[in-house]
Every structure is written in C-alpha cells, then in structure tokens.
Structure 1
Amino acid sequence: MKALHGHTDSYYAATANDPQEYPHLEGEVEADVCIVGGGYTGLSSALHLAERGYRVVLLEAERIGWGASGRNGGHVGVGQRRGQGDLEAMLGFETAKQFWDLSIEAVQLVESLIVRHQIQCDLKRGIMHLAAKVSHDKYLKDEAKKLREKYGYRQVEYIDKEEAQKLVGSKRYLGAQMDLGSLHLHPLNFALGLSQAGASAGVRFFERSSVQGYSRVPPFRVKTARGQVKAEKLVIACNGYLENLEPRLTGRIMPINNFILATEPLSEDLASELIANDFAVQDTLFIINYWKLSGDNRLIFGGGENYTKRFPKDIRNFVRRYMLKVYPQLKNVGIDFGWGGTLAITMNRMPCMGQLNPGLYYSQGYSGHGVPTATFAGKLLADAIYSESEGYKVFSALPKIDFPGGTLLRWPGLVLGMLYHSLLDRIGY
C-alpha cells in the first residue's frame, strides 16, 4: 500500500479513495465566503453554503483532510465530550438536553451526508464504552439509565462484566455501555467525499495555499504566498493547526497529539474475538484507548498522547504498548502502520464557536469528538451566515475560556494536569 501523495503515512492514506488534486491559489479570486481549513468544519461549511447558492472558496495549507480529519479514530458518537451530568451541573438540565439533542442531529447529519453523496467510507454502526474501574462501571450504568429515562434515548443499554469481556476479548474491563445510535467510519474517505460533494456543488478548492494573513473587516482580503481571496464573509476552520494565524483564538485551545496504529489484516476468527459485534470501542480512562476494525479486518488502535510539537520516533511501538495492555494475545501480530495527528482541546472540553468581527466566523476545540461535532459545526456556521439558527446560538453562547497564562504558560499547566490524570488512570477505583 502506498500513502496518498502529500498525506502522512497512515492506513487511511494508503486506502484512500482516488481524490481530486486541487490547484494552488494564483492571483486574486472573489467569493461570497472564504473558508480557511480543509478539515470537516471547513468542508461541511463549504458544502452547505454552496448548496444554498453562495460562491465559496476554500483554502487548505496542505491537502484536503491532511490534518486530524484524515487521521483520527473514526468514531462518530452521540453526546458531547463532556458527559450529560457535567453539562447539567455547568449549564442546567434544559441546556444540557439541547446539547444532547444537537449531538444526535450531528450524528444523523454525518450519516445523511454519506448516504446522499454516496461516500464510500466503511460506515458501520455502534460504539461500546468500556469501564476501566469500578467507579467508571457505576457511572456507565447510571448514565445509561439516565439517558433512557430522563433523555428518552432508547438506543443505549448497559451490559455487565461477563458480557462485556466476551464482546471485546479482554479481561481488563468491568462493564460497558452499548450505543446503537453512534457510528464509525474511515475518516479520510469521509473527508474526501465531502470535498467531492462540495466541488460538485461549485466550491472552489485550493490546496497547498497556506494563509499568511487577512484583513479583519469586510470585504476580507485573505492572502497566500501567490494570491488572495476577496470575500464578504470569512470562516476560520483550522482547529489544532491554527498556530499563530489568529491570535484572538490561540489562547482558547491547546493543541495535543494523539497516536494510532493499524495491524496487519486479521483472520475472521481473531477479528471476531477482539470485537464480536464490530462496534467501535473506547474505554473510560482519561487518556483514552479507542479501537475498531477496519473494512479489511485490521485493528485500528489509538492510545497515548503527547503535548509537544514532536511525535515519538517509533509511533508503532509507542502505541503497541497500550494495545498489548488490552490485548496481550496480539503480541505476535504485525503492525503495518503507525501515525499521529494534532487535535485541539478547550478548557471546558466543549467546542468554541462564534464571530470575532461582523462576518468573521470560527469554530474549533472539539477535544477529541471531532467527526460528528466538526461536521455539524460546519453546517451551523453555514446556517449562521445564511440566517441565524438555534443550534448556532446554543453553541456560540458557551463560555469562551482562555487557558491560564495564555499561549506562553498553557503548555506546562496542561502537562501537569495530564500527568495528574495519567496517575489517576493507573491507580484507584
């Protein structure tokens, strides 16, 4: 298998659908809306705006889906990154319920886009949440009951230790929450499918066109090395790859790196032993392990993270240590791919969305819940540009919290916090 040209060497890039390669931006072009960033947020926003008749230009510094949108675990889960109990405590039940309902809408949006545009991305149904500790097991059981009784969500159920261990072929876990309303997929092929749908709707894509700066009032002039876009509206959709492009947003997010491996293809018997129901799986540790079976029966396993600009030298063995804690029976299985990507977390682990100036929109900080949330965020930004929407109001009303110390001191504070939670992952109940 050969990785898609211009993408990191991952299983996803090696199994990508044939994408269209888009040109560099040359000279000046005009648009109603200019979008910066070719991940799920930008792609979804571009598609939904173009379908409403807007002239849209999207600028991507690398290749479409090059960032976290093309490298993640492919889980499309209902809910937010924060649990409903946390959201109720933060925001009250009514607002927490709004976020729950919007999360279901987000998953449904992903599925409807795949079906409507016939995107081939190994779409499968179901996510299983595994309890790593006794206290986590009680939480999953209570949460399943709450979701069914208080939120009317009937697609979730709790299963006990014996049944959970049979389904995942691991003795490590103590119970599980089964969610039939969630999905999982091949994330890069989903992103490429969105771009193909956008191009068909009239979006003009420019790759390898890194934005060097832009004016802050309309008409916006968005400059690259070889050209510029003039537009009445501007969408910043960079997430973990924002860097210093927009200083007003950098302090609200912390980029962190997560790592994934893909095994060699597994036999049907071994694949069934690992995940009997072919769900995507994730555990309840703070530094989460997550895994699923690919369309060709490889185990795609994510584990471990770091907080610098450097990736481990040997990502395959870095992640393999986490995999073998869950599946010691895989010690002799070959690892064909190992890769990493950068995502953005927020202080409250909820998305950060809104306007910086009239006509200048942004969304970021999906905190590891990006496939459904970023796709939905793109639609909400398109809704807000077209006409104010209730979903956009709910998300944009969330508090915007800067990391303490801004961009200079946020890193050591985060590392200390993560080390603390990593220690908790290893001890206690």
Structure 2
Amino acid sequence: MFLRPLQENREHVASYYAATLGEHTTYPTLAERIDTDVCVIGGGFSGISTALHLAERGYRVVVLEGNRIGWGATGRNGGQLIGGFSMDADDLRKDLGKEGVHAVWRMGQEGVDIIKQRVAAYGIDCDLRFGYCDVALKPRDLESFTMDLVRQQELGYPHTMRLLSRDELRSLVKSDLYLGGLLNEGYGQLHPLKLCLGEARAAASLGVQIFEQTRAVKLEQGEHPVVHTEHGVVHAKYVAVCGDAYLGELVPQLSSRNLPAASFVIATAPLGERAKDVMTRELAVCDTRWALDYYRLSVDGRLVFGGACNYTGLAPANVTETMRQKMLKVFPQLHDVAIDYTWGGQIGISMNRIPQLGRLKGNVFYAQGYSGHGVAPTHLMGKLLAEAVSGHAERFDLFARYKHLPFPGGKWMRQPLYALGMLYYRTLDLL
C-alpha cells in the first residue's frame, strides 16, 4: 500500500462534522500583549475543557489555537464517547498501588459525566446518545469481556452492562464477523465538533478570551511563564500546554513522549431505511484489535466508520477506497452505498497508551497522549489541570506519578521505529 503525507491547512478538514456544523467560528487573531491568570495552548477538547473549568472557578483565561477551535483530533475523531483509558488499569498497579488504580478507574468514568453535565448546563446540541458495544472477533475477546464485566461490577459501575451472545449481537449489529459483545449503556456517541464549539461558546460567555489562527511559537517556562505567538505575546501566572499531536517542537520534552499517528474516517450517504440492515439500534461499536475498526450511525442515518491507524503518520494513497474495503469486511451489504465524506488527521500516541499529565518548569502544566481514546479523558484532564492550578492537586499528582519514557530513536527515528514495533501487535491481531 502506497503512503503519502497528510495534506492539511489552517481551516477545518472537509469532514462530515464540518459539513453539518451549521456555524463557523470567528474568534480573533492575537496581535498584542495580554496579561492573564492562565494561558492555554491548544483549542481542542483538552484546552477548551481546561479553560471552561478554570473560568467556572473565576480565573482569567486566554486560549491560543493555531488554526480553528476543534481543528485537530477533537473535530475529526469517530465521535465515540467511552469512559476509562485505552490501557488496562492494572498496568498502573506497580506505580500507583491498588487504591491508586481504583482512583484512576473512578476518574476514567468521570470524563463521561463531565460531558453529560456540560451538555445539560450549557444547552449544547451535539447529538449525544447512549449505548456502546465492544465486539469480539476471537474467543479470547469474549474471555476479556467477562473479566471486564466482573471488574466493573466490583468497582461499582452504575450503568447497565451485559454480555451478548453471537445471536444477540447479530440482532443489533448486522454483521456475521463477530462472536459476541459487551453492551454498555453508560457510554455512547456524539458530534465532537459541535461539542467542542459549544464548550468554547460557554467558556467565552464566562469571559475566556479565545484566539484562533494564533500559533504559539515560543514558550518561556518558569514561575512567570510567557507564551510568544506569531504576532503577539501572553504573560501568565500559569500555562497549560494542550497541543497533543499537533504541538510540534514547541516543547521538545513533550514531543519526544508523544508520537503523532494518522487515523481515518469515512461517512456514507444517508442510508434511510437501509440503516436497519446495518444496526437495529444506534450504537457506537468498537472491536478489540490494536488496529481496530469503530463505527456508529449518525443522527441522519449515515454509517460513520473509522480505523486504518497508521503509525508512520502517513496516509494511504487512496484513503476512501482503503476505508471502504475495511467497511465492506464488516458490512458487505453496503457494497453499493456511496461514500460522501473522507477525512483523517493525527492522534497523539504515548508509548504505554496511558494519557500523560504533568508539570514542566515552574507554573507550566501539560496534558497529552490520549492514544486514540480521548473524547471523555480530555474532559477529565481539563478538570485535573484546573484543580492543580487552583491549589488542589491531589488527583493531578496521583495521575502525574506515572512516569512516561521518551520514544527511542530521537526526533528523526522514533516514528519509523515505533511503526516497525507496531507490526508485532498487528500480527497478534491476525492470530
């Protein structure tokens, strides 16, 4: 398969989300000096969530976005609202202990609750719906689902979860590919770009100053941090770095621990009555592979189908056809359905798949590395960053205790070395 670089500019990609947004942001570009309490770098979920949490606490906040609000992975993802994190919480046990693992699990579920509360409090129309299913391709997946169900019940998960047999799943998801599933009524789906822009409006209504087309080009760390942009400068008491996969080399220490990987999504033409030939219920669905498929039905009856994560950071030569073939392996009955939208972008991958939260020099904090599982966790991280700024860093410190190593290979070799290493896990998917 031939690969090519992703082609991007400073406006939103031509996605289903951008096409159905119904509005365009018009925040100004910074061209002066500003003094503030907190400067947030990045206008995606992490940055906007942080800004809104801080504004609700009475802080003066400035948000700097190099392109448009929600421009990066926030506005391009599959729209799956899933609690927890992409790693197994037991991986944290050595560093955090049993109680620490339980605390992290509870925080992982909190991200979903934050979104629900935001949507209700600020009247955000983002197509929020509940119902999510993990699907099994192999018997070991079913064993894992059973353990997940027991663990969630032991920890007091408040929503309905149940194992589905092959026939039960087939009655919901019209594919012959799966052996069964794990249904979770506490997770779901949404229109991510509508959510982010709604949260940005809420933040602005509370006094947050948002600047678009305002790229941070230099960060002076310390007790009195300064952020330089292309045409202005921000002096702040605190800085929160939330650029994730699109941070570039602004903070080399963070870039070395966060690898940009390319991921892609398609949306079909509206299916109309044929939507029932795909799913009889509007579920968000994921399989369990490292190179997983994920999909859902949009409110206007399109199949939104994602996957094809590429750890080189490059795109297939024909993204639409690549994704179409992946979709047809799951739903061959859609062979004659048109693909209306194709898009992709970068997601930030941490080496151990655990989100990275921490503090740099002085009053500079950061959050990044959601590893393709960021809609809910970004909202939690924004809350933890706001807690740390306001002097209540207990939960922040717990999460920050986990140490993240840089990717081997340095600036030029870390991407190809990691892509080579991921071939091992792709091989496991086939076994």
Q: Which residue of 2 aligns with 1:339?
A: 343
Please list the CA deviations of residues 183-222 of structure 1 after superposition, one character each: whole Å capped at 9, or x if unmatched. 2100000110111001101011111111110211232221
Alignment of 1:56-71 (within 5 A): 56-71=61-76
Q: 1:234 to 1:154 in 2, by over 3 A?
A: closer
The whole-number CA distance in structure 2 between the counterparts of 1:217 and 1:142 is 45
- Tell me which of 361, 366, 370 is aligned to 1:366: 370
The whole-number CA distance in structure 2 between the counterparts of 1:382 and 1:90 is 24
The whole-number CA distance in structure 1 between the counterparts of 2:248 and 2:267 is 29
Tell me the CA shift for residue 153 of structure 1.
4.9
Q: Which amino acid aligns with 2:399?
A: F
Is 1:415 equivalent to 2:419 in the alignment? yes
Greater Cα shift, 223-232 or 397-406: 397-406
Greater Cα shift, 399-408 or 127-136: 399-408
SS in 2 for 1:113: helix
Please list the CA deviations of residues 214-260 of structure 1 after superposition, one character each: whole Å capped at 9, or x if unmatched. 21123222111211111111111000111111011111111101000
Is 1:46 equivalent to 2:60 in the alignment? no
Please list the CA deviations of residues 288-341 of structure 1 after superposition, one character each: whole Å capped at 9, or x if unmatched. 100011111100000202233432343211211111110111110000000001
Q: Which residue of 2 aligns with 1:181?
A: 186
Tell me the CA shift for residue 132 of structure 1.
1.1
Greater Cα shift, 82-91 or 112-121: 82-91
Q: Which residue of 2 aligns with 1:261?
A: 266
Tell me the CA shift for residue 411 of structure 1.
1.5
SS in 2 for 1:205: strand
- Tell me which of 172, 175, 186 is aligned to 2:177: 172
Greater Cα shift, 214-223 or 239-248: 214-223
Q: 1:17 to 1:196 in 2, by over 3 A?
A: farther
Is 1:273 equivalent to 2:277 in the alignment? yes
Q: 1:87 to 1:309 in 2, by over 3 A?
A: closer
- Tell me which of 393, 401, 404 is aligned to 1:400: 404
Q: How many aligned positions are there?
A: 423
Please list the CA deviations of residues 330-383 of structure 1 after superposition, one character each: whole Å capped at 9, or x if unmatched. 110000000001111111111111110121010000111110001111111011
- Tell me which of 165, 169, 177 is aligned to 1:160: 165
Q: Which amino acid aligns with 2:58?
A: G
Q: Which residue of 2 aligns with 1:224?
A: 229
Q: Which residue of 2 aligns with 1:215?
A: 220
- Tell me which of 374, 377, 380 is aligned to 1:376: 380
Q: Which amino acid aligns with 1:217?
A: G
SS in 2 for 1:316: helix
- Give the TM-score, by structure 2 length: 0.94
- Give the TM-score, by structure 1 length: 0.95
Instruction: State the superposition RMSD in angstroms.
Output: 1.7
Asked whether the equivalents of residues 81 and 375 of structure 2 are also in contact (C-alpha less than 8 Å), the reply is yes
- Tell me which of 97, 101, 104 is aligned to 1:96: 101
Q: Which amino acid aligns with 1:408?
A: W
Q: Which residue of 1 aligns with 2:4?
A: none
Please list the CA deviations of residues 257-303 of structure 1 after superposition, one character each: whole Å capped at 9, or x if unmatched. 100000000123x2123222211000011101000111111000002
Q: Which residue of 2 aligns with 1:35?
A: 40
Q: Which amino acid aligns with 1:296?
A: D
- Tell me which of 219, 244, 250 is aligned to 1:245: 250
Is 1:236 equivalent to 2:245 in the alignment? no
Q: 1:324 to 1:403 in 2, by over 3 A?
A: same
Q: 1:38 to 1:150 in 2, by over 3 A?
A: closer
Identical counterparts, % of pairs:
40
Q: 1:205 to 1:106 in 2, by over 3 A?
A: same
Is 1:138 equivalent to 2:177 in the alignment? no
Q: Which residue of 1 aligns with 2:361?
A: 357
Q: Which residue of 2 aligns with 1:201?
A: 206
Q: Which amino acid aligns with 2:249?
A: N
Tell me the CA shift for residue 418 of structure 1.
1.7
Tell me the CA shift for residue 94 of structure 1.
2.1
SS in 1 for 2:351: coil
Please list the CA deviations of residues 127-161 of structure 1 after superposition, one character each: whole Å capped at 9, or x if unmatched. 10001111112111232123223545552211111
The whole-number CA distance in structure 1 between the counterparts of 2:219 and 2:94 is 39
Asked whether the equivalents of residues 17 and 189 of structure 1 are also in contact (C-alpha less than 8 Å), the reply is no
Structure 2 spans left out of the alignment, 5+ residues: 1-8
The whole-number CA distance in structure 2 between the counterparts of 1:139 and 1:366 is 22
Q: Which amino acid aligns with 2:308?
A: G
- Tell me which of 288, 296, 305 is aligned to 2:300: 296
SS in 2 for 1:357: coil
SS in 1 for 2:110: helix
The whole-number CA distance in structure 2 between the counterparts of 1:200 and 1:155 is 36
The whole-number CA distance in structure 1 between the counterparts of 2:112 and 2:295 is 19
